[in-house]
Structure 1
């Protein structure tokens, strides 16, 4: 086995049209981190569901690894999905399907590690794939007990927000000299702490939606006319939901769990999800429902409700034996069922693009598991396969009183950002011209009265609004630290120091000056149009296509002429930043800009962004 394989190979990455923008940009960011900047700190990539995380794992080692690569997954389902995509013997493996290589003989050698893996197999592998349990030090068959600490030069950790258990920490200590790359859809671990390492690349989900990398999303929740509950199974006295809340008879956890276990409430969600499925299946695409339940017993009750309606169901849970699990997963892949019900099994990492309806029969207490479940229906169906736009619109269905409104709010905000990005993309030419708690186990019976209605929210949203808050908090923390060291400098100067530090030093050698300038321009455009403008629209709750900003003092004096050329709030903000940045650089023709002018423009954009916030703070009296 050639230990220099990843250095000597010639993969097609940089200008590969078959790769997605976030895959190539994330690869460049990791390359800069380890190769150009020679950093030792773990690198972290935040990439939303459906954008191409497994493919990214397939290209990350090239030019970075001076030896073997270990890919670690948190569970078997994810491990199997990664292995399927990166199996060099499969005719549609990622490297051939995406034109990374043209010949089989150019592909890396890949093995799945288990206790039967021989020493010869380990020595011959370029890439070793395993799930974290195979690194448990207490097991004689553990990989840690089989290889020296320098056996791997690069370790890629999938779903890195799980890396909290002792096994993860022990493994990282053992392979302490390896370059560690962590991939995740969230910047926080499952225990709420920040993931250890440096965030080298983040791709916002709103941008993924605007690019069409994930399905559109709508929510339909059933709202009963009236709802009554007993306080326990032994007392037939019924109370309205309003009475229970007003009299503080039970807390919201009890209410939502009672709703979840109520057969009467579940039937409504079952019927609504089937109605949506039947409509979607008219196109001939084998759309499916994926449902989530509170427990295995609860899932069996939901299964019975679907089967009574004539649908075939595959119930997948953690207690199934390996062979039975494989049979049920195959029935999903081969379209033998219309409904998939899971309990703690088909979470993150399970990809089946025909899952299009997410039926929720349990309350979620936190954002992360909710997002992971909704993420199962977001993987888009290939453009050449879809018959109707409806094929790439996913639905989330649940009972109104499951208490999920706050979690869904995140998707509303992502939708707003996505709308702003798409609006600006549609207006690109005109802008170019302008700029040159404890859960109670006992539940009560639930009785609904009246017909009830369903209510629909249509959005193209998905995860990671929390990232914006995290970034603000992180900058605030750094600012406080700098204030202690440099108490006499103003806050704005300190913020600029923080941002310059985050940008880092440029590469010593520019191999493609043409692409270098193109990337500088694209990065500036993205920062303005895909981050700053959406954040302002969201932060101040401004109508995307309204014109209330026409009265702002931003557009008086020198920039009043913009009001004659641009009609919408979004367009005005984008045009103002673009025009003002060009004025500050002193050159309106970006085609003639040099690297230092793009660097200056990026800093000017940050200053203008802060100025806009200050002006809108005073005008809109935002607290």
Structure 2
């Protein structure tokens, strides 16, 4: 049996309503919790774009969800290190820094799985994490050879479709009664493999760009020269692109372009121009170029060509030893270079927010691999470090026009176009005169004491847990200072530590009581926020996809018989009002919906958008 007490169910946490977390993280967490309440041995998938807080979501997902130990599986060492760093008490601990858990005494017990970890350590743990290779091998030292099938209550697999399917499937089959959660930043199914699990949450790239959680994104293609091809069988004859296309496949041309020195130099020159103009506009931000080659030899050539142009370059690839890789990553972190040349190493999990220019010197056949590499330049640089968001958080992807990447890019262009559209206000449901007249018959009269039912839900604003955490931490320090001021100077440090712990325990108890009592109210406030932003985001995406001007009012004639709108109501307002009216008709007013109904109405918006897409197919642009 699983001997670990239900740590994740008994530890009070500040998740829903925590203003240090991002809305997509909270929304995904709410969906995870709801799914596993209904499917305690189910398999779910959450899609959260790179840079939106995937490691953070993995860290909060077990709380109030798991009834026992949790296993976190990563595809490779860099992803493992990224999650380990988030959770390590000696690093910038996510749970404490983001006010998830008040006291470090309440942190979960973490174990990184190695073959020499003792059974006692495994049993004492709350979370065990490892890359996939150490879990499923047939060796006696692998994890599944050492623990029973009910050892874990929850298994979280990060980017499972980047590891061979049979490896993690073997682990999931062994722990078949556990809750199974897949988390990915790249949800594309174009690689002849199905994504695992039932998709219970997806945040689109356009939504997180709109919210400025990630960098803006644009592309530049280089096509500086007339291209001439020389074939080995006719070394003295130059052929144009059109001539070559008569007897060679497009793929052959794309490979030639990617490996050509002249074409590569065009991309290098353009990336350096971008870098220099960025440094001119924002000299204090350590922006960097990430250049991706086809092979190690090719990457070495690219590095040499950048060096010839006076750039400071590091190279990283899978043939380097772990120590060499760590040394190179340290150079990147310490800004001892302005160009990072990579082959396949940085494909997953490496996050350095100052990678802003992506230079591609290879063709891509897999949309997943392409999305992974785009994700490396999306991580946002904090406001306090930058000159302006539009300057420093504006990633650019540069490749040769003939490298065959435009088709891949189109998927991202759609998200970029959507992100430019913003619905800036909430359009509420209008109550008609007819409904107003009927109120005496159909609706209850509400006296002034009922003002809690206002659309603001103002009674929920009476507590901010982030401020409460801060205040209690100050109180602990003050209490310790006051007590120690009255004590002899040469007091035993053990005694001082006991005073500190007593003050912490007292504050912890107070906070835990408030957290538990306020949890439903916090959830309600968060669900209302999600409901509003989802209607706005999906309305903006819909209008962008259909090429309908959001601020025009040409949808008025189509909807004026259905809704109470005026000729002044813009198209985005009409769509949001339509969504809110449909929700009102099905679920009643927002004020009257309980938390479960609010959750259902958030899910209903997707269906309303499908219906609107049909209605607007033939709308005049």
TM-score calculated relative to the size of structure 1:
0.78
Match in the other structure for 2:43: 42
| Aligned pair partner of 2:31 in 16, 24, 29 | 29
Tell me the equivalent position of 2:267: 269
CA 1:6–1:319 in structure 2 vs 1: closer, same or farther (change >3 Å)? Answer: same
Per-residue CA deviation, residues 256-309 of structure 1 (Å, 9 max, x unaligned), is: 111111111111111111121122234211111111111111111101100111
Post-superposition shift, 1:219? 1.0
Residues 234 and 324 (structure 1), Cα distance of their counterparts in 2 relative to 1, 3 Å cut: farther
Q: Give the direction of change, closer, same or farther, for the CA distance of 1:233–1:263 in structure 2 (3 Å limit).
A: farther
Is the 1:156–1:180 contact (alpha carbons within 8 Å) kept by the matching residues of 2?
Answer: yes
Q: 1:511 to 1:285 in 2, by over 3 A?
A: closer
Partner of 2:102: 102
- The aligned counterpart of 1:60 is 61
After TM superposition, give the deviation of residue 537 of structure 1 in Å.
3.7
Mapped partners of 1:24, 1:435: distance in 2: 31
User: In structure 2, how many angstroms separate the alpha carbons of the residues matched to 1:93 and 1:604?
Assistant: 37
Structure 2 residue 148 is the aligned partner of structure 1 residue 144: no
Q: Structure 1 residues 306 and 548 mapped into 2: Cα distance closer, same or farther (>3 Å)?
A: same
Paired position in structure 1 for 2:467: none
Is the 1:73–1:79 contact (alpha carbons within 8 Å) kept by the matching residues of 2? yes
What is residue 122 of structure 1 aligned with on the other side? 122
Shift, 1:592, TM fit: 5.8
User: 1:329 aligns to what SS in structure 2?
Assistant: helix
SS of match in other structure, 1:346: helix
1:434 Cα deviation (Å)?
6.6
Q: Which runs of 5+ in 2 are unaligned?
A: 433-516
Q: In the alignment, what sits opposite 2:161?
A: 161
2: distance between equivalents of 1:213 and 1:8?
Answer: 32
Retained in 2: the 8 A contact 1:286–1:354? yes
Of stretches 303-312 and 541-550 in structure 1, the one that deviates more from structure 2 is 541-550
**1:554 corresponds to 2:558:** yes
Q: 1:169 to 1:577 in 2, by over 3 A?
A: closer
**Matched residue, 1:77:** 78
Match of 1:481 in 2: none
Q: Does 1:541 align with 2:544?
A: no
Cα distance in structure 2, aligned partners of 1:212 and 1:385: 15
CA distance in 2, matches of 1:293, 1:170: 33
Distance 1:518 1:275 in 2: 47
Q: Computing the radius of gyration over CA atoms, which structure comes out larger, 1 or 2?
A: 2
Following superposition of structure 1 onto structure 2, how do residues 381-396 of structure 1 map, counting pairs within 5 Å?
Answer: 381-389=381-389, 390-396=391-397
Provide the rounded CA distance (Å) in 2 between the counterparts of 1:190 and 1:611.
26
Give 1:530's aligned residue. 537
How far apart, CA to CA, are the structure 2 residues paired with 1:601 and 1:23? 19
CA distance in 2, matches of 1:581, 1:71: 38
The residue that corresponds to 1:214 in the other structure is: 214
Q: Residue 3 of structure 1: CA displacement?
A: 3.0
Displacement after TM superposition at 1:98 (Å): 0.6
Q: Could you list the per-position Cα deviations for residues 31-68 of structure 1 after superposition, in whole angstroms to 9, with x for gaps in the alignment? A: 2222x324321121111101111111111122222222
Which secondary structure state, in structure 2, belongs to the residue aligned with residue 226 of structure 1? coil
CA contact (8 A) 1:161 1:186 kept: no
Equivalence for 1:86: 87
Residue 309 of structure 2: aligned partner: 309
CA distance in 2, matches of 1:160, 1:394: 27
Q: Distance in 2 between matches of 1:354 and 1:383?
A: 13
Change (3 A) 1:556 1:63: closer
- Deviation of 1:435 after TM superposition, in Å, equals 8.0
Change (3 A) 1:385 1:406: same
Cross-structure match for 1:398: 399
Secondary structure in structure 2 of the residue aligned to 1:150: coil
Structure 1 pair 233–362 and aligned structure 2 pair: CA distance change class (3 A): farther
Task: State the shift of 1:240 in Å.
Answer: 1.5
Which residue in the other structure is 1:351 paired with?
351
Q: CA deviation at 1:212?
A: 0.9
User: Could you tell me which of 566, 570, 573 is aligned with 2:569?
Assistant: 566
CA distance in 2, matches of 1:192, 1:54: 27
What does residue 9 of structure 2 align with?
A: 7
Q: What CA distance in whole angstroms lies between the structure 1 residues aligned with 2:6 and 2:607?
A: 46
Question: Shift in Å at residue 536 of structure 1?
Answer: 4.6
Equivalent residue number for residue 320 of structure 2: 320
Q: Which residue of 2 aligns with 1:249?
A: 247
CA contact (8 A) 2:542 2:613 kept: no
Q: Once superposed, what is the RMSD of the aligned Cα atoms?
A: 3.0
**Cα distance change, pair 257–123 in 1 and its aligned pair in 2 (3 A):** same
**What are the within-5 Å matches in structure 2 for residues 464-543 of structure 1?**
514-515=521-522, 517-518=524-525, 521-538=528-545, 540-543=546-549
Query: In structure 2, the residue corresponding to 1:122 is in which secondary structure?
Result: helix
**Cα distance change on mapping 1:72 and 1:204 into 2, 3 Å:** same
1:537–1:570 CA contact under 8 A, matched in 2: no
Tell me the distance in 2 between the aligned counterparts of 1:598 and 1:122.
Answer: 40
Alpha-carbon distance between aligned partners in 1 of 2:598 and 2:62, rounded to the nearest angstrom: 30
Please say if residues 160 and 189 of structure 1, whose CA atoms lie closer than 8 Å, have aligned partners that are also in contact.
Answer: no
- Relative to structure 1, the CA distance from residue 65 to residue 597 in structure 2 (aligned partners, 3 Å threshold; closer, same or farther) is closer
Aligned to 1:186: 186
Distance 1:101 1:586, change over 3 A: closer
Cα–Cα, structure 1 residues 15 and 555, in superposed 2: closer, same or farther, change >3 Å?
closer
What's the TM-score, normalizing by structure 2? 0.79
Instruction: Specify whether residues 586 and 319 from structure 1 end up closer, same or farther in structure 2 by C-alpha distance, changes over 3 A only.
Output: closer
Q: Does the C-alpha gap of structure 1 residues 194 and 226 become closer, same or farther in structure 2, counting only changes over 3 Å?
A: same
- 2-structure distance, mates of 1:69, 1:319: 32
How far apart are residue 116 of structure 1 and its match? 2.5
Distance between the aligned counterparts of 2:294 and 2:374, measured in 1? 16
Structure 1 distance, partners of 2:607, 2:123, is: 54
CA contact (8 A) 1:110 1:125 kept: yes
- Asked if the contact 1:163–1:169 (Cα under 8 Å) also holds between the matched residues in 2, the reply is no
Equivalent-residue separation in structure 1 for 2:249 and 2:234 (angstroms): 19
Question: 1: CA distance between counterparts of 2:576 and 2:121?
Answer: 56
Q: How far 1:99 sits from its partner (Å)?
A: 1.1
Moved more, 110-119 or 366-375: 110-119
Aligned length: 533
Instruction: Using the TM superposition, give the Cα deviation of residue 578 of structure 1 relative to its aligned residue in structure 2, in angstroms.
Output: 3.9
1:371 counterpart residue number: 371
Tell me, in whole angstroms, the C-alpha distance in 2 between the residues paired with 1:207 and 1:107.
Answer: 32
Tell me by how many angstroms 1:81 deviates.
1.1
C-alpha deviation, 1:188, in angstroms: 5.0
